[in-house]
Amino acid sequence: MKISHNETIHLGASEDISYIRQKVRKWMVELRFSLVEQTKIVTAASELARNTIEHGGGGRAQLIVLTDNGRTGLQLIFEDNGPGIPDLELALEDGYSTGSGLGLGLSGSKRLVDEFDLKSKPDKGTCITITKWRLN
Amino acid sequence: MGTGKNSKIAEIINNSKEELLENWLKEQKKAKAQHTELISEGELRHRSEELLSLFVRGCLSGLEDTSTEAWSEMRDFLSSISRNNARQGFSPSETATYIFSLKQPVFALLRQELSNEPDALLDEIWTVSKLLDSLGLHSFEEYQRGREEIIERQRQEMIGHSNPVMKIWEGILTVPLIGTLDSERTQVIMENLLQKIVDTESSIVIIEISGVPTVDTEVAQYLFKTVAAAKLMGTECIISGIRPQIAQTMVQLGVAFDDIMTKTTLADALQYAFKQSNLDIVQHQKRA
């Protein structure tokens, strides 16, 4: 697996969410992802960036272009140093929310991507990695 | 050295003001500090002359710090230049270079006047350099603030103009949503909509979202809240313009628009609204 492109975006305020949406959309257009794939990943990025800001107290997102055996994929890593998620299974349940949202951000994002990895340690922070491979 | 009591800067500059101004204007031209198409030569000369006198006045009152009261006139003058630059389309470097381009002619002048006192020369150059640096930074910051004001004004205008609620038929309203929805915008939209419902006594609202690029759970929640508020006032909402890629994303995300009427296009929504209002569209046959 090779990394051909890499950029880190600071996530601090809600304005950064629309910034990352634009950025992800631009990268996916350049990588020739289909419109449906673009929409799915942009939406997932929007959800996870909001989680990083609202629950993680801010953090960063890393955009990575991967190439693997002729496949092209976009990987996004959302990282914060917030309180962490105490119960991962519960957090991934539809409709569960500690805030006032719909409780679909995390579970829904997982369904929108090809690979989803969630790591969290109490008081250390949370790191979520999502990957979408382009359908050729 | 105290507050530069021994400094002759003000005196030296004042004595050679004409010469310095000419050299500065030449330097500005060389450094392309100002777009010549954006400002006339006479205007530039007038402005530079004014700035030079303010600089001398500032030097007379204190050489340590340009943030003091004594320098306030100079700062204000620079602020207005920088903010105008931001509005007129000058670049940030052009704005900063304007002040920085004064260094070379002042240094040359000091060298000429203090050629026999190398220590004093060094001190004076250091002092002037520090003053001009801080003034340069000040003009840069003001330029930035000018840009921010423009952005904020445009943002306010957009919030005001981009959420029209329109009556398209007796009892039928439409809200075409365009761009990114955040909580502030949604609040404005909801308020406008509810007021318009009262004003027009409408019973049906079509919310058209084909201009919204991303619908995530937050946007969905905003839509639900708007629909719920309208419903409390006895008005039915139809959401139209859900594009195929958004529909697929919504399904996977798990957002269900269960109790809300949705239509693909605004035309479909309007047809449905007519039906709800017991209105028929009749096509007349052409008379022979």
Collapsed DSSP state (helix, strand, coil) of residue A125 = strand
Determine, yes or no, domain membership for B1: no
Nearest to B205, CA basis, from B270, B109, B265, B148? B270
Determine, yes or no, domain membership for B149: yes
A63, A74 Cβ separation under 8 angstroms:
yes
Q: Quick one: pLDDT at residue B32?
A: 67
Determine, yes or no, domain membership for B3: no
Rounded Cα–Cα distance for residues B41 and B36 (Å): 7
Greater model confidence, A2 or B113: B113
Token digits of residue B74: 């100079």
SS3 of A5-61: EEEEEEECCCHHHHHHHHHHHHHHHHCCCCHHHHHHHHHHHHHHHHHHHHCCCCEEE
Are residues A47 and B221, on separate chains, in Cβ contact within 8 Å?
no
Task: State whether B73 and B126 are in the same domain.
Answer: yes
Domain edge (last residue) among B103, B127, B158: B158
A113, A76 Cβ separation under 8 angstroms:
no
| Residue among A50, A54, A104, A110 with most chain B CBs within 10 A, to mutate | A104
Out of B217, B244, B245, closest to residue A104 by CB: B217
Per CB-CB distance under 8 Å, the chain B contacts of A111 are 252-254
Q: Note down the domain range covering B271.
A: 166-276
Q: How many domains does chain B divide into?
A: 2
| Residue among A16, A22, A96, A102 with most chain B CBs within 10 A, to mutate | A102
Q: Quick one: pLDDT at residue B202?
A: 94
Q: Note down the domain range covering A102.
A: 2-133
Using only the alpha carbons of chain A, give its radius of gyration: 14
Q: What pLDDT band is residue A126 in, cutting at 50, 70 and 90?
A: very high
From A50, which residue of chain B is nearest by alpha-carbon distance? Answer: B218
- CB of B166 less than 8 A from some CB of A: no
Q: Supply the DSSP string of B197-224, one letter for each residue.
A: HHHHT-SEEEEEEEE-S---HHHHHHHH
A64, A39 Cβ separation under 8 angstroms:
no
Are residues B254 and A111, on separate chains, in Cβ contact within 8 Å?
yes
Per CB-CB distance under 8 Å, the chain B contacts of A104 are 217, 253-255
Q: Quick one: pLDDT at residue B6?
A: 63
B28, B44 Cβ separation under 8 angstroms:
yes
Angle, vertex CA B189, rays to CA B234 and CA A16, nearest 5: 135
From B216, which residue of chain A is nearest by alpha-carbon distance? Answer: A43
Task: State whether B43 and B170 are in the same domain.
Answer: no
Q: Quick one: pLDDT at residue B1?
A: 39
CATH number at residue B258: 3.30.750.24
Task: State whether B254 and B179 are in the same domain.
Answer: yes
Determine, yes or no, domain membership for B282: no
Rounded Cα–Cα distance for residues B244 and B228 (Å): 25
B96, B140 Cβ separation under 8 angstroms:
yes
Task: State whether B132 and B185 are in the same domain.
Answer: no
- CB of B220 less than 8 A from some CB of A: yes
CB atoms within 10 A of CB A104: 24
Q: Quick one: pLDDT at residue B168?
A: 93
Are residues A50 and B216, on separate chains, in Cβ contact within 8 Å?
yes
Burial class of residue B64 (count of CB atoms within 10 Å of its CB; 0-12, 13-18, 19+): middle
Q: Quick one: pLDDT at residue B155?
A: 82
Determine, yes or no, domain membership for B286: no
Domain edge (last residue) among B158, B175, B203: B158
* Locus of tokens 């809240």: B225
Determine, yes or no, domain membership for B107: yes
CATH number at residue B134: 1.10.490
Q: Quick one: pLDDT at residue A136?
A: 72
Per CB-CB distance under 8 Å, the chain A contacts of B217 are 47, 101-102, 104-105, 108
Q: Quick one: pLDDT at residue B102?
A: 92
Q: Are strands A115-121 and A125-133 parallel, antiparallel or unpaired?
A: antiparallel
From A15, which residue of chain B is nearest by alpha-carbon distance? Answer: B182
Task: State whether B22 and B135 are in the same domain.
Answer: yes
Instruction: Report H helices in chain B.
Output: 9-15, 17-31, 41-61, 72-88, 92-100, 103-113, 118-161, 183-200, 217-232, 244-253, 266-276
Q: What pLDDT band is residue A114 in, cutting at 50, 70 and 90?
A: very high
Domain edge (last residue) among B158, B180, B200: B158
- CB of A43 less than 8 A from some CB of B: yes
Q: How many domains does chain A divide into?
A: 1
* Candidate ranges A97-106, A120-129, B38-47, B172-181; pick with highest mean pLDDT: A120-129
Task: State whether B138 and B21 are in the same domain.
Answer: yes
Determine, yes or no, domain membership for B139: yes
B246, A37 Cβ separation under 8 angstroms:
no
CATH number at residue A99: 3.30.565.10
Q: How many CB pairs under 8 A join A and B?
A: 64
CB atoms within 10 A of CB B163: 21
Q: Point out the residues of chain B with pLDDT beneath 70.
A: 1-6, 32-37, 160-162, 288
Rounded Cα–Cα distance for residues B204 and B283 (Å): 24
Q: Quick one: pLDDT at residue B257?
A: 84
User: How close is the nearest chain A Cα to the Cα of B164, in Å?
Assistant: 22
Task: State whether B203 and B72 are in the same domain.
Answer: no
Angle between helices B72-88 and B118-161 (to 10 degrees): 50
From B255, which residue of chain A is nearest by alpha-carbon distance? Answer: A104
Task: State whether B173 and B154 are in the same domain.
Answer: no
Nearest to A133, CA basis, from A72, A63, A44? A72
Determine, yes or no, domain membership for B153: yes
A9 — phi, psi (to 5°)? -120, 130
User: How close is the nearest chain B Cα to the Cα of A66, in Å?
Assistant: 23
Q: Quick one: pLDDT at residue B188?
A: 85
Are residues A25 and B213, on separate chains, in Cβ contact within 8 Å?
yes
